[in-house]
């Protein structure tokens, strides 16, 4: 699904990455307020994950950047600070703000074919020196 | 025995500097991209770098994050002056955290950092001394593409 379609489905307001809406294709989503969990669980090998969150600080963009997550949805009508929007613009990440809560946002996207994000296999093959 | 890295770069990180959290990791990611490293390796190293960087910001007074690129692996060294880790085994437990509320507000401090770094690396080593600081060394092999 194109990022533009995602924004339409959730009555979203595009805060950053307006020029990318027709280029970015997303297939899966992960919802969390804990960026630690996003970093620990999300396998984004195909770079097609949407991050749905209720927090607004620049760390949401940094987290998306590290995992090559192209679209962030900020739910429950939260006001997104300018520094977060600026960083997202700089990093080529789309931020969509919606008045819907995380539950509703997720439900709408799920009903329209967005699948749960693939989770990382939590390897035990790492060992100490 | 110690080989010479192809590239070595060190970034300074200040404790409690939440505002710039992730900048060093972002630079590390760009360097690795420029070197044409495999995207999945870059992702694993970036996750480790970001977790390490946030750990220094959340817990330490100051520190450095060093990226070293070798022919066959990438090494990250996160070294800080700080409170140290009294019980490494406990710190390695998922969900165990001593993070302050302001870190949790940012979505960090859930006790996933060190275990996540271990999961994303091929080798990890922690040296720590209470009231002195902590040094975390992480290695990711370049041939081991998962």
Q: Is the pLDDT of residue B105 over 70?
A: yes
Going by C-alpha positions, the residue among A81, A123, A76, A71 that lies closest to residue A101 is A76
Contact at 8 Å (CB) between A16 and A89? Answer: yes
Q: Please give, rounded to a whole number of angstroms, the shortest distance from the CA of B106 to a CA of chain A.
A: 7
**Average pLDDT estimate for A82-108:** 98
Using alpha carbons, select from B67, B62, B61, B59 the residue that is nearest to residue B25.
B67
Structure tokens of A68? 């090559």
Return the closest-CA partner of residue A31 out of A6, A49, A7.
A49
How many other CB atoms are there within 10 angstroms of residue A11's CB atom? 13
Q: What is the mean pLDDT of residues B118-132?
A: 96
**pLDDT above 70: residue A124:** no
- Enter the tokens of residue A74: 């900020």
Band of the pLDDT at B53, cuts 50, 70, 90?
very high
pLDDT value of position B29: 98
Q: What is the pTM of this model?
A: 0.93
| A126 has a pLDDT exceeding 70 | no
What is the ipTM for the molecules in this complex?
Answer: 0.92
Mutate which: A31, A32, A38, A39, vs B, most B CBs within 10 A: A39
CA distance A44 to chain B (A): 9
pLDDT digits over A62-89, tens only?
A: 999 999 999 999 999 999 999 999 999 9
CA proximity to A59, closest of B70, B87, B105, B39: B105
Q: Verify whether the Cβ–Cβ distance A39 to B25 is below 8 Å.
A: no
In 3D, which of B46, B113, B137 has the Cα closest to residue A129?
B137
Cβ of A34 within 8 Å of Cβ of B107? The answer is yes
Q: pLDDT of B61-103, one tens digit each?
A: 999 999 999 999 999 999 999 999 999 999 999 999 999 999 9
- CB of A14 within 8 Å of any CB in chain B? no
């Amino acid at each position: 699904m194109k990022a533009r379609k995602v924004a339409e489905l959730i009555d979203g307001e595009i805060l950053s990455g307006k020029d990318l809406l027709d280029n970015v294709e997303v297939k899966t989503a992960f919802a969390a307020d804990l960026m630690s969990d996003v970093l620990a669980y999300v396998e984004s090998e195909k770079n097609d994950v949407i991050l749905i969150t209720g927090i607004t600080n620049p760390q949401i963009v940094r987290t998306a950047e590290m995992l090559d997550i192209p679209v962030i949805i900020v739910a429950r009508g939260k006001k997104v600070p300018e520094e977060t929007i600026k960083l997202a613009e700089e990093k080529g990440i789309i931020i969509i703000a919606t008045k819907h809560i995380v539950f509703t946002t997720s439900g709408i996207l799920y009903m329209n074919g967005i699948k749960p994000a693939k989770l990382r296999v939590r390897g035990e093959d790492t060992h100490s020196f | 025995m110690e080989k010479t890295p192809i590239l070595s770069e060190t970034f300074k990180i200040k404790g409690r500097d939440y505002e710039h959290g992730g900048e060093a990791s972002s630079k590390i990611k760009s360097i690795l991209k420029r070197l044409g490293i495999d995207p999945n390796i870059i992702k694993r190293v970036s996750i480790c770098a970001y977790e390490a960087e946030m750990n220094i910001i959340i817990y330490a007074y100051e520190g450095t994050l060093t990226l070293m690129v070798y022919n066959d692996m990438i090494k990250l060294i996160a070294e800080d002056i700080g409170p140290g880790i009294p019980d490494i085994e406990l710190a390695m437990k998922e969900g165990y955290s001593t993070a302050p509320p302001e870190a949790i507000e940012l979505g960090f401090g859930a006790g996933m950092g060190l275990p996540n770094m271990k999961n994303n690396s091929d080798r990890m080593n922690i040296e720590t001394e209470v009231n002195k600081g902590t040094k975390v060394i992480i290695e990711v092999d370049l041939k081991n593409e998962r």
